[in-house]
Structure 1
């Protein structure tokens, strides 16, 4: 049985490299994996996350999370998990350190950078933004393009996926930026939670089949990364690979943060009563809580914050233990679930998620945001796709030309591929912040003067 190996999985290669990057030759004050983090955090695409919905939309309340604060927190948790796993892996495989020079912090840096970028491809208005783009092509005006696209191209649009869009952002070449952000292949591998294309949609319980991870336009970039890292190919007919092992850690960090921190937001907003926090969070932290410290806290936010910190620490320990217990299965591609699905706290986690779904995700404010998001995204796609395609066929109206003047140069009007034109419009809309999407919609509707 083929088994992935850590030296290959920790590749420092970047797009365009002709020579191998050796870990022992790295500048310890400017390590390649840490450069990845810097490149993500300084990118315009990452900055736009500061005005994108996490759960509660466009809230004026300071403590509610945006995509940006969520991504920073996932990155911090991911770094902790990665370092802890790295330390244990170097104890188990000492040659990685003695022969190749890898350090425990390398694992933390890779997971931190991938976690920082994990939501970079998400459209405005949360996950409803993805669904709105997909519905435009599945049942809306965009359905007219079905017969002009391949089955996989059309599926990319119908199931528009933030993870695939994120891979596009990180790797797509454009004028003056060959290879996108030029991240290390190790970080790109850890980013790829669903290393397969949009078709076939597999009715499989394997975690890597839950969604897809790249658009047809990034097939070459994806396969290049997968082969360089030595990921296990899972299909002889379609592009599908086993996950990079560190992708499990990125996923665990995300799972920990959205489970615990969304719950905390709901309590602080009054959507969930504080006594639920006591009942549900204390079930996670019974072995850690110091009752005298807890009862010394005088306000709800501090009490919930204390429990949240302990709960995150508990689940970090769980993720590290489960990963190390299953390292061999992860390396040979037979481990099929998210790490926390194996947690002894699974019941408590599911209880927290259920109450968050009922009280936060289905709250009036969130549902109203999703309804508005559908209408805004549908209209933007309708106007932009018409203008771009009419321009391509030299049939642009004066209105189309005015619209095109507002679109960025990244949308290539002379692109012969209908698929790439449509995808470039979707990518542009996905990069809009919530406020900019609303602003563009209002301008088009004549409501911004």
Structure 2
């Protein structure tokens, strides 16, 4: 096991910097590219739990991601400290690149939510529901009811009918933003290892956990295969540092969601502690006092809600981070290979049970509140409404779209005006692969299908990249409400 084979300077394209830089400098370059990207800035106006929240103290996707970044850094440093104490840094190829190790973890944590659509999981549901109902019909109209190939039926259509934030995140940083990050940095972001078109029960690798959601789209499949080959990652396996990012996210959001509920007055200190203890008792049947002891330790006389949350969070984050680091060391051979088919905070531990308890309390008593559900319903309706408004772009032929690109007069004046509203960066991401199709030996039928697939991706890119408030404004603007 040599981490210098996993942490490399290789980028998807040659860097504009002519002088050769070492791996630490390259990860610092990753940091600059990521932090200055518009994808990160948009997170400040995307939902964490409370859509359209005006209270700046309540978390957005950006503030949540910053917390995940710090937790990931904490875990990574504990892992490196353990390897140092064991005298294994040289053996593992980590001596001298410890900063690069931490940088990769931190930036994967900061980016882990960049692919999330407006209104979170409700946004995902809106896109997927509309696509499953209408995408096939749109293609039939665009193609003049042409017969479809196996590629279309088994890959392209299933791919656009399953939007997933993790897969969209890979697309944003590699295809839309073209950040040209190192292969190691992109790999650290890929949480799941199957393409969106591949059914979960047909992954063929035996990794049910690593394949429970899509990790990338067909559009990025070649890129992923290049990265896997370069880093020596077997098909269906994961990059080792991704396990740390995943643990940091689990630790951060399960506590943060309850803290925000207390800040907004949805839960009081007494109801929160009561819900936690009841849920814990129901799950472990009195066989463990792990979480009740943490609650009791945080609950001192005359403590405020803020004081309780601070003490509770500090103790639990320290415990969970220490456990995640310990598991990384204990399961290191599997983790390095990317074959550990479970999270670092695993299902057989008190620590995992604590996470599940916190998540269940949030699900039962926070996510179902009117403060959360009403804006989610508005966002769901607005996103589906925008998809319907932009539908004409999906129902015209490839030749008609090409004429719009050339800025020629079009009889489809509605579609033409809709096309003009699409961001230039996204249109360029559509034009690159479609231009390559023209020079390829692909059959005429598959060229037509692939053009429509990339056109569909163009619209999904645009809508999923919107912020919560922009979705509502754009829907109101175009529907004249």
Q: Determine helix, strand or coil for the equivalent of 2:215.
A: coil
Aligned pair partner of 2:417 in 394, 402, 409: 402
- Could you tell me how far apart the structure 1 residues matched to 2:257 and 2:362 are? 7
Query: Measured at CA, do residues 232 and 245 of structure 1 come closer, stay the same or move farther in structure 2, by a change above 3 Å?
Result: same
Question: For the residues of structure 1 that align with 2:335 and 2:94, how far apart are their CA atoms?
Answer: 22
| Off by >6 Å, runs of 4+ in structure 1 | 287-291
Written as runs of structure 1 = structure 2, the 5 A alignment for 1:11-160 is 11-17=8-14, 26=22, 31-90=25-84, 91=86, 93-95=88-90, 101-140=95-134, 143-145=137-139, 148=148, 149-160=152-163
Using the TM superposition, give the Cα deviation of residue 199 of structure 1 relative to its aligned residue in structure 2, in angstroms.
3.7
Alpha carbons of 1:296 and 1:22: their partners in 2 closer, same or farther (altered >3 Å)? farther
- Rounded to whole Å, the distance in 2 between the matches of 1:184 and 1:347 is 36
For residues 371-386 of structure 1, what are the structure 2 equivalents within 5 Å? 371-386=377-392
Cα distance in structure 1, aligned partners of 2:453 and 2:184: 29
What CA distance in whole angstroms lies between the structure 2 residues aligned with 1:167 and 1:285?
39
Larger Rg: 2
C-alpha displacement at 1:61, in angstroms? 2.1
Taking a change above 3 Å as real, the CA distance of residues 141 and 379 of structure 1, as seen in their structure-2 partners, is: farther
1:143 CA displacement: 4.8
Name the counterpart of 2:312. Answer: 307
Matched, 1:411 2:412: no
Question: How far 1:184 sits from its partner (Å)?
Answer: 1.6
SS in 1 for 2:99: helix
Task: Return closer, same or farther for 1:181/1:248 CA change in 2, 3 Å cut-off.
Answer: same
Show the counterpart of 1:264. 259
Q: 1:289 and 1:89 mapped to 2: Cα distance?
A: 34
**Partner in structure 2 of residue 220 of structure 1:** 222
Q: Structure 2 stretches of 5 or more lacking a match?
A: 141-146, 278-288, 401-409, 435-447
Q: Structure 1 residue 172 and structure 2 residue 172: aligned?
A: no
**What does residue 426 of structure 1 align with?**
460
Aligned position for 2:179: 181
CA shift, 1:65, in A, is 0.9
Cα deviation, 1:361-409, whole Å, max 9, x if unaligned, reads 2222322223222221112122224136537443653222222222222
Q: Aligned to 1:351, which of 333, 353, 357?
A: 357
| Per-residue deviation, residues 66-112 of structure 1 (Å, max 9, x unmatched) | 11111111111111111221333354533257x67533332221110
8 Å CA contact 1:285–1:314 kept in 2: the answer is no
Displacement, 1:314? 1.4
Does the aligned pair in 2 maintain the 1:256–1:312 contact within 8 Å?
A: yes
Number of positions where the alignment pairs a residue of Structure 1 with one of Structure 2: 424
TM-score under structure 2 length normalisation? 0.80
> Residues 83 and 105 of structure 1 are in contact (CA less than 8 Å); yes or no, is this contact kept in structure 2?
no
Q: Take 2:116 and 2:102, find their aligned partners in 1: how far apart are those partners? A: 24
Task: Choose 383-392 or 123-132, whichever is displaced more.
Answer: 383-392
